[in-house]
Structure 1
């Protein structure tokens, strides 16, 4: 599952408005060499004063083991139909099981929020009633006898699922857990399709069918879906047939012959265009709204190449009968890797012009790699979730490295590190952790971002050939089964012959990360490198870190392998002349924080000679306050011509901090980039930089930018032109009011929030009603500012709209934004009453903390 709920577009918009840009503090990269000697110095372990504890210290929670397997669920057959008006599912579940090992006379199933109509023991087509008890979450069935592990039996349950009547739950990653979702069920929202879809992770599928809802369970599956003939359906496995029914409905039959975990079962119903593709002899289909039929292959079209790349590298052919990808409305996460049928959020649907600025290859690769890591081999418990998610995250790197090159891959790794370190400011837990408060807590940047970076270090440690051979062994030995972290370690040990317990223990089983202080000095032909591990060893280990140091001396690069494994160590290298640069962790693979002070000259040399993204951006970030120095300014001018667009963009962002009179040496170059750079995001950055330097003299550039083929650049042009204060600004911006692109809409909203009068009321209302997800989140922020400046627009209609969003939106962050917008009118008695009602009815702890309750 990919849980990034704020779209790239939304984040880009936020960055555009704040001018934010940063590079990571840690260093990461390696090669080979010789000539290093090391001496270790014993240093006492740091201690923490009594009664003090850092805010990020690992929390003490109860132990969460994998679920005990009393029964083995062999096959699941479902017959379902839907009541759109009530948002109910009417179902019959036929489950074939046997005791796992010990004799059993009782079967307990997960079945959340259902009406249970009957439970029967089946002999062929004949059923005899069984006694049962049901508490609203667990269905306990008294079997007709005690069955042994060699005896199979079949139970049939007739039931009605009522997902909307369940108590709300969720997490940052998966914002709701009711399992089954009816979108616009009555057709009341004119611009939104009617859809039904499911979301099973972690244990939410038991809200729409009775099952043993645990990741260490698996069964084969059949689903018969009865729907209105105007709708398409999708489920796991192969489509077998459709049957027209006497009542005018249609029943679609989907069958999966290979077993998978219950949380991976899925259904989707709606009006979709199905764009057909193929990989080898298997169907690869893309389900999108009809409006996006023409661009579906541009959005998802790299999928067959990804399937070939991963199948070849892993030595395990994509295992399932087909691969479908479907985009749905109001999805409660980024995407989900349901076996052979992944679901994606609506942000993936892009038109031709939007595709100029972005692609979704990362999330597409992520869910595809899950078909091996998560579906083919499944974590036995949520404590071992990184065995699913760390691999899926790392697949984004693998694909970028293969398809787009080292710079793009390195950027993803830097982003992963940044995500983890941001979270580590307030939370540090082992990646594999059996002690947690709620299983949803596992869906964090430890499981995803840190896990992916640790896998990269493991690959670097063993080498590429051993890496792929070990993954092949792991997958082939554990296919269609559940695993824990030890199985992954044993696969690598069996292939490499190495004892890797130390690596898995320090990186997977312990909290925190290395924090290193590095100092270098040169004297009498020797380079002395002192490395101190400064992390708090009351909570983190003293790490063993095999890495490499690159030294440039006399213009020649030499790489020295070292092993840091003491709290403080000094390494010496024979170097003929004083080095121009010492680059610690030359391969830029280390997950950690490295403090290594360098002079201005060293950093400029680093930018010019390392040819690596991380060191380049580190030099640019560190020297940002020295733009007045000729050598530094020249470095940034060089960066404006870098082959990789993110370096050019970062250079513009830094140079935009120059005052108008200081920017003369780069202003013309950036003006040309605003008009001609091949990347829309870079043109957008250049436009905003010009806007900060007496934008009025660049008005012709902004006028041209508003017509740019890139929506990002056009949105920047709108903001820049509005910033000139031109008399015709409102008239020019009004020409964009029918645009639906998120970047354009948010640019207009940013301006209208401050400069729009009562005449923009209808536009704002339309945008808020039509938007969803991240676009709605940002739109509500601008709408709140607009309402604060236009009290005459604070109508009952506005209050009703905001209150409905604050109470009923599936996305908790949208509820928060709507609540904040309502606060603008909090002096009104009816709004105060509504705010109180919202607080009282809210179940999400994150929002309750925000609301002060």
Structure 2
């Protein structure tokens, strides 16, 4: 499961218009921030840090009373009512102890009948059903050596369930009908499922726990115009007498119920191959031509991961399908991953970005999550941390060290941002809701921890340990101790210390580092200043790199005390001391360096993080000659993020200093090979001297990169040119997210009533993050154009606020409605919306 659902580009484009035109940064580069350790070892007696979480109840793995062996589903659909009509045949047996009752998860269903099946003979069984659990009285007491098959005739009614979800998975009703009656001309008609965490039981009765496994047959009865997709192998399609067809999919290897999937829709199937396996991409027909450009690295990823792990991709096929209104970024259903519609891309959009990260993430889950599955949601990082780290592994392999390092810096930033308000163990049995596990701890922090583990044991041991972990535990469920034991059995080392401090304890190391040199000796003082009432004193094997006399030396050290001193013989005064030379540590380090040391660091270290650190820490001195020369050199760096960071720093210069760098940035605005860098250069020119570059901005609005074109729209509008509205109007029919949101920031304050139809048209077609930010601009537009506050607008916003599947879109619609809160009918609507809201995040926001 990938939970990055808000567009970073959307965030940039949806900034307030004046801010966008007066700033040099289109996107806040969290990777360039230098985390600073704060000394807080001894907290006041009555002080509790803001990030300490209230302890939830203990949540162990589900007790196994029955062993789910096989499920056969025969399903059809009532599109009008948005129901699934199903017959489920469940084969099971007691796990160990004799049982006379089978309890299944079955959420919000109508249960029509339950029968014991034997040789095609059905014997009715009695059952109790409370809307959540189906308790079936078996015909006798069965032992663990006796199988039985139960047939359940049922109707699933997902839209009648109480809504839940999390930031990662915004809804949990399991089965989703998209535009079922075809009333929305802007959306295809689709059905898809989303089982994680325990939502498969909203569309078929099962034991809905990650420590259960089953094989599976699914027979899907639909109109022949639709394409279907499910787990495993496509066996056949049969024409029915009533004009429908039945597609049969067979999953022959066992997997967890939450990984079961079903997709129905009008898809183009673009065929690919890995070795002898089918690799297919299911996309809307309009995107058939670019599907391979989006997903085409999949076979290479399958080969790379298979060889490195020593375990070949384990399933019968691999399919990837893009659906509308998905409730997360993507989901790793066994052999058939589902993706959000953002992966539908045009040729021009592909110039700016690729989706290799999320594609690698879901693919790696086919081993870590599907082949070997967490036994409980408390152990979710055994799924998600590995999928997260696979993105680094693929980027390192395919795109090089800098792209991989940039990705990891972003992950570190995500975790540290969350750690301001939340610090919990990575593996945590005490939580209030299993959905709480889907956070930046399980993903970003977990991935960085795996990187440290790889660094400690070495590459050969890393891959050998993963091979042992996978082969030893294939088709089974695991807890974190089994990962530790695999590494210990391969390396011969005791790693309890590592797993205890990183997986079982909250927080991260916060280090204050000082160095001094005298009489041929370098002294490094390291103090761990994290609050040790809530976090451990860490054991940190790492390296210190020292440059002296133009030579580099590397010294291994182990930090394992609250306050520690290390000394090294160094012949000359060091030009640079680089703590954590491999840049692998998860934590924050405060290490003061002089201007000269930071310039040397930028010029001599080959790693991305130290370069970005130097650029970030010297930004306020950008006008000084030596520092400015460093930034000018950074403008020519091979890696785009270094160039962008330098542009953003130099754009803060004023007067003659600005003029000295303006020409270089101007050239980059039109000639840099990376669209995002051209966009940053355009916004920098807007900040430095926007009016002077009006013609450049006008030309850049036609840039092949949407990111650069959107930046140029903002920059041109910021010049106050008399023909701004005329120039921007040429893009009014553009549907690209970056361009739409750039226009929206201007139209929000300068559009006037004539742009009402533009807003309404785009609000009807926008999705996810784009819709969220567009609603924010629309709220500002309504505030400055009271004549557009019509019943049509109120009705549209109310519909979004009440019924949109994504909670953050509902919140944005409420904010837009509040612009009109002086109207009695809007006040009443807001009360109705808040009264009908079930999502705890929004209830807290509304003060309920």
The TM-score normalised by the length of structure 2 is 0.98
Moved more, 655-664 or 729-738: 655-664
Superposition map of 1:423-442 within 5 A:
423-442=418-437
Distance of 2:157 and 2:766 partners within structure 1: 27
The one of 211, 234, 249 aligned to 1:254: 249
Q: 2:14·2:741 contact (CA, 8 Å) conserved in 1?
A: no
Q: Distance in 2 between matches of 1:354 and 1:572?
A: 53
CA contact (8 A) 2:14 2:745 kept: no
Q: Is the Cα contact below 8 Å between 2:105 and 2:207 reproduced in 1? A: yes
1:799 and 2:799 correspond: no
Alpha-carbon distance in 1 for matches of 2:618, 2:8: 28
Distance in 2 separating the partners of 1:123 and 1:51 = 66
2:657 to 646, 659, 662: 662
SS at match of 2:599: helix
Partner Cα separation in structure 2 for residue 593 and residue 71 of structure 1: 47
Q: 1:423-822 to 2 correspondence within 5 Å?
A: 423-822=418-817
Indicate the residue corresponding to 1:31 in structure 2: none
Q: What residue number does 1:182 align with?
A: 177
Indicate conservation of the 8 Å contact 1:696/1:724, yes or no.
yes
Alpha-carbon contact 1:334-1:345 (below 8 Å) kept: yes
- Whether the 8 Å contact between 1:25 and 1:594 is mirrored in structure 2 is no
Distance 1:621 1:205 in 2: 47
1:25 CA displacement: 5.0
Q: After the TM superposition, which of the residue ranges 17-26 and 752-761 deviates more from structure 2?
A: 17-26
Aligned equivalent of 1:156:
151
Structure 1 contact 25–593 (Cα < 8 Å) conserved:
no
SS at match of 2:31: coil
Work out whether residues 27 and 585 of structure 1, in 8 Å CA contact, stay in contact via their aligned partners in 2. no
Residue 47 of structure 1 and its aligned partner are, at CA, apart by: 4.3
Is the 8 Å Cα contact of residues 33 and 616 (structure 2) preserved in structure 1? no
Which of 28, 31, 53 aligns to 1:23? It is: 31
Deviation (angstroms), 1:26:
5.7
Is the 1:366–1:392 contact (alpha carbons within 8 Å) kept by the matching residues of 2?
A: yes
Equivalents in 2 of 1:47, 1:570: separation in Å?
21
Match of 1:144 in 2: 139
Residue 409 and residue 515 in structure 1: after superposition, are their counterparts in 2 closer, same or farther (change >3 A)?
A: same
Structure-1 residue corresponding to 2:64: 69
CA distance in 1, matches of 2:638, 2:239: 58
How far apart are residue 703 of structure 1 and its match?
1.6
Question: Equivalent residues in 2 for 1:400-439 (5 A)?
Answer: 400-439=395-434
Residues 351-370 of structure 1 show CA distances to partners (whole Å, capped at 9, x for unaligned) of: 00000000000000000000
Q: Separation in 2 of the partners of 1:834 and 1:92?
A: 41
Does the CA-based 8 Å contact 1:24-1:418 persist in structure 2? no
State how far apart, in whole Å, the 2-side matches of 1:743 and 1:281 are: 40
SS at match of 1:718: helix
SS of the aligned residue for 1:635 comes to: helix
Contact 2:11 2:773 in 1 (8 A): no
Three-state SS of the structure 2 residue aligned to 1:23 is helix
Instruction: Give me the CA root mean square deviation.
Output: 1.3
Q: CA deviation at 1:332?
A: 0.3
2 CA distance for matches of 1:369 and 1:784? 41
Shift in alpha-carbon separation, 1:774–1:637, aligned structure 2, 3 A: same
Q: Distance in 1 between matches of 2:119 and 2:320?
A: 36
Of residues 344, 349, 355, the one that matches 1:349 is 344
1:255–1:541 Cα change, 3 Å: same
The residue number in structure 1 matching 2:822 is: 827
Contact preservation (8 Å) 1:23, 1:621 = no
Q: How far is the alpha carbon of 1:58 from its aligned partner?
A: 3.7
C-alpha contact 1:93 1:157 (8 A) present in aligned 2: yes
Deviation at 1:186, TM superposition (A): 1.4
Once the two structures are TM-superposed, the CA of residue 11 in structure 1 deviates from its matched residue by 3.7
2:564 and 2:29 map into 1 onto residues whose CA distance is 35
Conserved 8 A contact 1:784-1:824? yes
- Which one is further off, 442-451 or 17-26? 17-26
2:14·2:744 contact (CA, 8 Å) conserved in 1?
A: no
Shift in CA distance, 26/659, structure 1 to aligned 2, threshold 3 Å: closer
Q: SS at 2:688's partner residue?
A: coil
Q: 2:74·2:218 contact (CA, 8 Å) conserved in 1?
A: yes
Name the stretch that deviates more: 14-23 or 622-631: 14-23
Q: Which secondary structure does the structure 1 equivalent of 2:253 belong to?
A: strand
**In structure 2, what is the Cα distance between the partners aligned to 1:159 and 1:510?**
45
Question: How far apart, in 2, do the equivalents of 1:641 and 1:276 lie?
Answer: 41
In the alignment, which of 370, 374, 384 is matched to residue 375 of structure 1? 370
Q: Which moved more, 1:13-22 or 1:803-812?
A: 13-22
Q: Is 1:88–1:162's contact at 8 Å kept on the other side of the alignment? A: yes
Equivalent residues in 2 for 1:103-114, closer than 5 Å: 103-114=98-109
Q: Is the Cα–Cα contact under 8 Å of residues 547 and 577 in structure 2 kept in the other structure?
A: yes
1:474-511 CA distances to partner (integer Å, 9 max, x unpaired)?
00000000000000000000000000000000000000
Match of 2:307 among 287, 306, 312: 312
Check whether the contact 2:61–2:375 (CA below 8 A) recurs between aligned residues. Answer: yes
- Relative to structure 1, the CA distance from residue 459 to residue 321 in structure 2 (aligned partners, 3 Å threshold; closer, same or farther) is same
1:194-227 per-position Cα deviation (integer Å, ceiling 9, x unaligned)? 1000000000000000000000000000000000
Which residue in 1 is equivalent to 2:9? 9
How many angstroms apart in 2 are the aligned matches of 1:25 and 1:537? Answer: 25
In 2, Cα distance between equivalents of 1:268 and 1:707: 39
CA–CA distance in structure 1, aligned partners of residues 773 and 825 of structure 2: 25
Q: 1-side partners of 2:731 and 2:537: how far apart?
A: 58
* 1:21 CA displacement: 3.2
Of 327, 348, 351, which residue of structure 2 is paired with 1:332?
A: 327
Q: Give the match for residue 121 of structure 1.
A: 116
What is the rounded CA distance, in whole Å, between the counterparts of 1:196 and 1:169 in structure 2? 19
Please say if residues 27 and 588 of structure 1, whose CA atoms lie closer than 8 Å, have aligned partners that are also in contact: no
User: In structure 1, what is the Cα distance between the partners aligned to 2:66 and 2:683?
Assistant: 62
Q: How far has the Cα of 1:74 moved from its partner?
A: 0.4
1:691 match: secondary structure:
helix
8 Å CA contact 1:27–1:590 kept in 2: the answer is no
2:286 aligned with 1:291? yes
Per-residue CA distance 1:799-848 (angstroms, 9 max, x = gap)? 00000001100000100100000010000000000011111111111111
Secondary structure of the corresponding residue to residue 682 of structure 2: helix
